[in-house]
């Protein structure tokens, strides 16, 4: 690995990408108009991507494309077309969540590097082992890991690039294992349509609050530790945020990574970034301090930086001593008491000094009176949430030239004609033309004439990188003359042919439909609700905790079902308990439910037991035929798969439309089973107590919450928090 890790910035728009690059980002990650986990971001057309690719290539930067969503069967052909275009553009990598996409990319586009999204919830040595064997070149780790845990993962996998989030918003639930938005509002976070349920209010414990709204991650204190741990890429979250955020965060972390600034200077240097967007910061997970306050219960959104405290006020203005510079046209905010603190946001229109003189701005330390839309409470903090100084100029992407694919061209000249040929992706393309070939009146560098000619390819998607001249005339290379008009006509015909083939998708052999034959057993499937272990409450997985008993496992048709826990911070201990149970119950048949790449790595070992078989549970996503094929080809003794839990009946039917009675059954889970909504490493009890654990903690708690007419149950077991719909 290089001494300095890659700095990877978010690019929700073309402007964000350019500002990130110009402020020090080594790479950006971005989504297309389809297939992005941030569907509400502006995202990119292929025209914009081409222009950004040209800029990145000329400046030594990289671009990664996010296709980190679950893909349904009707979308496969569109995805194949998009992947072919990305392959043609020699994109630096594709970030994926769906194992079906991994299978598709490796089959048809093996040259594209594939990165495992944080949506895969990869957090163990075994999970990385499985991905490595499948050709994944980089793993984007779960955000819940500490530096120590990351270091141990890297020690075990020196050849796997590890990407770690260092700044930005945090999800309450493990990414990829959050079903709140999909279950409650039919807006799946695994489809890029998260409704942000964790940022909404709940009623509980005698109060109303944003109990699941996380603080923002800021890892500025841990940059050197992460570098020493072997992290390959430092990632900043924020594709939904502004170009200013992308640029300022890149600049700040570029200087930290390069050692040009120190962590102790963070507060002063980060003020512009915090003004652009910021919640209160935390580094609890990355630092390994899992018992600290990680949520903001009073307000879920941007609070900027504190500008001062109200010393006096009336219905039209307030007075305060400034902690930061404030100017007319800046945005301010204060809170007024309510059942939840109510934010009052406004732009500064008028400002006066202590002496009553109107000013357009003042520096820290000055006392000013500022006009306001309503009375601010005395002693209330005032926050600066925008600055007119950060209104950066817009960027016109059309001013950036399109990227062109460099190809090596061979020009064969005979006494009667010229043939131009090129090889691209293992296929040969050529254009021949009969034209006059004469001896030049004066010597010239004919090869350079050809190179200059074919490098001027206009609006073609191609350009000439290298040229080879095969001279089959009676003249030497420097004595060939072909009329310029004829050469230009040949060039135009050649590039027109290449562009036509590219537009038709002929540059890549068209893939055959990945047909599968699935049993039509949706009406006879095993209801997922029947596989919840007894005594677990609503938790639908086996925990192997102090309350576990083999007799608690559900038994169906003489087999005991064991849905494996998708999150394991001591995976070896869990595996040991699982193996002990299997070996001690040799007369019992166990069907193990697979919910994480960790479990897929265990399959080869566990399948050796005669009393073990498997099913693909809802923690893995079988939403398309490629995912189905991926699992059925790799998992021996596979009894059935559950269809993607957030998928509709119509999407399910589109996958089982092939007839026949062969293959592994695919079961539709349906509405009768209520999965977890959140699964979090954050302890709800700890955060209710302001970041402290209760005395003599039992590590077992339940709470009731409401939100309008909806009722919920919070379950805390061994510091892991679950949220469920309450029946």
As a whole number, mean pLDDT of residues 111-126 equals: 97
**Measuring CA to CA, how many Å separate 682 from each of 214, 291, 691?**
10, 8, 10
Asked whether residue 609 carries a pLDDT value surpassing 50, the answer given is yes
As a whole number, mean pLDDT of residues 395-414 equals: 94
As a whole number, mean pLDDT of residues 197-220 equals: 94
CATH class of 305-390: mainly beta
573 phi, psi to nearest 5 deg: -65, -40
Segment 183-192, tens digit of pLDDT? 999 899 998 8
Task: Say how far residue 468 (Cα) sits from the centre of its chain.
Answer: 43
pLDDT score recorded for residue 370: 98
Neighbours of 63 (CB within 10 A): 24
Segment 346-374, tens digit of pLDDT? 999 999 999 999 999 999 999 999 999 99
Asked whether residue 718 carries a pLDDT value surpassing 50, the answer given is yes
CB 163 within 8 A of CB 137: no
pLDDT score recorded for residue 586: 86
- Model confidence band, residue 430 (pLDDT cutoffs 50, 70, 90): confident
- Residue-averaged pLDDT of the chain: 92
pLDDT score recorded for residue 697: 87
Segment 490-508, tens digit of pLDDT? 999 999 988 887 655 544 5
% residues pLDDT > 90 (the chain): 80
34-38, 62-66, 112-116, 166-170: the lowest-pLDDT one:
34-38
Burial class of residue 404 (count of CB atoms within 10 Å of its CB; 0-12, 13-18, 19+): buried
Neighbours of 3 (CB within 10 A): 5
Segment 568-592, tens digit of pLDDT? 999 999 999 999 999 998 899 999 9
- Model confidence band, residue 113 (pLDDT cutoffs 50, 70, 90): very high
pLDDT score recorded for residue 17: 97
In 193-300, alpha helices (H): 223-229, 243-257, 266-269, 271-276, 284-287
Distance between CA atoms of residues 93 and 65, nearest Å: 6
pLDDT score recorded for residue 448: 94
Distance between CA atoms of residues 606 and 719, nearest Å: 29
The helix (run of H) or strand (run of E) holding residue 563 is strand 559-563
**Measuring CA to CA, how many Å separate 557 from each of 73, 526, 560?**
32, 11, 9
150-159, 172-181, 409-418, 428-437: the lowest-pLDDT one:
428-437
As a whole number, mean pLDDT of residues 653-676 equals: 78
What CA dihedral angle connects 227, 229, 230 and 232, to 10 degrees?
-60
Neighbours of 20 (CB within 10 A): 32
Asked whether residue 521 carries a pLDDT value surpassing 70, the answer given is no
Q: How many helices (H) and strands (E) does the chain have?
A: 19, 37
pLDDT score recorded for residue 518: 55
As a whole number, mean pLDDT of residues 721-726 equals: 94
Asked whether residue 548 carries a pLDDT value surpassing 50, the answer given is yes
Using alpha carbons, select from 566, 637, 587, 580 the residue that is nearest to residue 608.
637
CATH class of 6-170+216-281: alpha beta
- Model confidence band, residue 659 (pLDDT cutoffs 50, 70, 90): very low
DSSP track, 390-415: G-PPP--GGGSPPP-EEEEEEEEE-S
pLDDT score recorded for residue 42: 58
Segment 445-482, tens digit of pLDDT? 999 999 999 999 998 989 999 999 999 999 999 999 99
- Model confidence band, residue 1 (pLDDT cutoffs 50, 70, 90): very low
pLDDT score recorded for residue 291: 84
- Model confidence band, residue 206 (pLDDT cutoffs 50, 70, 90): confident
pLDDT score recorded for residue 438: 92
Q: What is the CA radius of gyration of the chain?
A: 30
Asked whether residue 251 carries a pLDDT value surpassing 90, the answer given is yes
As a whole number, mean pLDDT of residues 329-334 equals: 98
As a whole number, mean pLDDT of residues 657-679 equals: 79
Burial class of residue 179 (count of CB atoms within 10 Å of its CB; 0-12, 13-18, 19+): buried
Asked whether residue 707 carries a pLDDT value surpassing 50, the answer given is yes
Task: Please give the order of strands across the beta sheet that includes 666-667.
Answer: 555-556, 559-563, 589-594, 612-616, 638-642, 666-667
% residues pLDDT > 70 (the chain): 94
pTM score, whole prediction: 0.92
As a whole number, mean pLDDT of residues 602-614 equals: 97
CB 29 within 8 A of CB 41: no
As a whole number, mean pLDDT of residues 22-31 equals: 97
Query: What is the token pair recorded at 605?
Result: 């070992």
How many Cα atoms within 13 Å fall on the side-chain side of residue 106?
19
CB 27 within 8 A of CB 62: yes
Using alpha carbons, select from 436, 275, 63, 332 the residue that is nearest to residue 267.
275
Neighbours of 550 (CB within 10 A): 14
Using alpha carbons, select from 98, 127, 188, 86 the residue that is nearest to residue 629.
98
pLDDT score recorded for residue 547: 84
Distance between CA atoms of residues 53 and 400, nearest Å: 10
- Model confidence band, residue 34 (pLDDT cutoffs 50, 70, 90): confident
For the chain, which residues make up each domain, given as ranges?
6-170+216-281, 305-390, 404-503, 522-680
Neighbours of 604 (CB within 10 A): 13
Task: Please give the order of strands across the beta sheet that includes 381-386.
Answer: 342-347, 331-336, 381-386, 305-313, 317-321, 367-371, 351-353
pLDDT score recorded for residue 661: 45
Q: Which residues of 217-241 are buried (b: 16+ CB within 10 A; e: fewer)?
A: bbbbebbebbeebbbbbbbbbbbeb
Determine the 3-state secondary structure of 644 from DSSP: coil
């Amino acid at each position: 690995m290089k001494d300095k890790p890659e700095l990877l910035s978010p690019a929700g728009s073309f402007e964000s990408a350019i500002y990130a690059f110009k402020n020090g980002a080594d790479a950006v990650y971005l989504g297309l108009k389809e297939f992005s986990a941030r569907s509400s971001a502006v995202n990119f057309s292929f025209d914009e991507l081409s222009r950004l690719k040209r800029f990145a290539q000329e400046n030594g930067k990289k671009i990664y494309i996010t296709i980190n969503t679950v893909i349904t069967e009707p979308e496969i052909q569109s995805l194949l077309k998009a992947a072919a275009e990305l392959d043609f553009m020699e994109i630096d990598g594709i970030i994926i969540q769906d194992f079906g996409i991994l299978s598709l990319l490796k089959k048809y586009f093996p040259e594209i590097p594939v990165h495992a999204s944080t949506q895969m919830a990869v957090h163990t040595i075994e999970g990385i082992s499985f991905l490595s064997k499948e050709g994944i070149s980089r793993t984007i780790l779960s955000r819940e890991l500490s530096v120590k845990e990351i270091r141990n993962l890297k020690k075990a996998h020196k050849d796997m690039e590890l990407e770690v989030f260092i700044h930005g918003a945090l999800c309450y639930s493990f990414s990829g294992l959050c079903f709140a938005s999909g279950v409650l509002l039919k807006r799946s976070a695994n489809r890029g349509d998260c409704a942000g349920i964790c940022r909404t209010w709940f009623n509980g414990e005698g109060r109303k609050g944003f109990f699941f709204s996380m603080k923002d991650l800021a890892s500025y204190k841990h940059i050197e530790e992460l570098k020493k741990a072997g992290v390959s890429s430092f990632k900043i979250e924020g594709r939904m945020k502004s170009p200013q955020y992308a640029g300022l965060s890149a600049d700040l972390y570029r200087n930290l990574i390069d050692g040009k600034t120190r962590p102790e200077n963070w507060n002063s240097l980060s003020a512009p970034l915090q003004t652009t967007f910021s919640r209160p910061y935390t580094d609890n997970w990355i630092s390994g301090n899992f018992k600290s306050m990680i949520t903001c219960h009073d307000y879920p959104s941007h609070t900027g930086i504190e500008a001062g405290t109200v010393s006096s006020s009336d219905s039209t203005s307030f007075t305060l001593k400034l902690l930061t510079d404030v100017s007319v046209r800046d945005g301010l905010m204060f809170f007024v008491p309510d059942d939840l603190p109510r934010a009052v946001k406004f732009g500064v229109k008028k400002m006066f000094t202590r002496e009553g003189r109107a000013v357009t701005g003042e520096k820290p330390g000055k006392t000013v009176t500022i006009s306001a839309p309503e009375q601010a409470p005395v002693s209330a903090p005032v926050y600066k949430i925008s600055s007119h100084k950060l209104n950066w100029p817009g960027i016109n992407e059309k001013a950036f030239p399109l990227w062109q694919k460099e190809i090596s061209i061979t020009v064969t000249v005979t006494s009667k004609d010229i043939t131009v040929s090129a090889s691209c992706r293992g296929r040969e393309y050529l254009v021949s033309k009969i034209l006059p070939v004469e001896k030049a009146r004066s010597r010239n560098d004919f090869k350079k004439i050809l190179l200059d000619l074919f490098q001027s390819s206009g609006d073609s998607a191609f350009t000439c990188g290298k040229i080879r001249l095969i001279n089959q005339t009676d003249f030497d290379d420097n004595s060939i003359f072909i009329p310029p008009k004829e050469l230009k006509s040949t060039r135009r015909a050649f590039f027109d042919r290449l562009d036509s083939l590219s537009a038709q998708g002929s540059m890549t052999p068209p893939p055959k439909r990945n047909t599968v034959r699935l049993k039509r057993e949706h009406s006879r499937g095993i209801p997922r609700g029947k596989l919840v272990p007894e005594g677990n409450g609503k938790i639908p997985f086996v925990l192997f905790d102090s309350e576990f008993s083999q007799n608690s496992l559900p038994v169906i048709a003489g087999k005991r079902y064991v849905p494996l826990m998708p999150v394991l911070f001591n995976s070896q201990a869990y595996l040991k308990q699982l193996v002990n149970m299997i070996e001690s119950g040799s007369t019992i048949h166990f069907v193990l439910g697979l919910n994480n790449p960790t479990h897929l790595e265990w399959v080869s070992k566990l399948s050796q037991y005669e009393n073990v078989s498997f099913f693909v549970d809802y923690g893995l996503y079988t939403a398309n035929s490629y995912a189905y094929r991926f699992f059925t080809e790799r998992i021996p003794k596979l009894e059935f798969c559950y269809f993607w839990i957030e998928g509709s009946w119509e999407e399910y039917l589109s996958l089982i439309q092939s007839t026949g009675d062969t293959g592994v059954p695919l079961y539709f889970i349906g509405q009768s089973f209520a999965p977890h909504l959140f699964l979090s490493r954050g302890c709800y009890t700890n955060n209710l107590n302001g970041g402290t654990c209760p005395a003599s903690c039992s590590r077992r708690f339940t709470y009731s919450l409401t939100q309008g007419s909806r009722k919920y149950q919070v379950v805390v077991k061994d510091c892991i928090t679950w949220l469920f719909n309450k029946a």
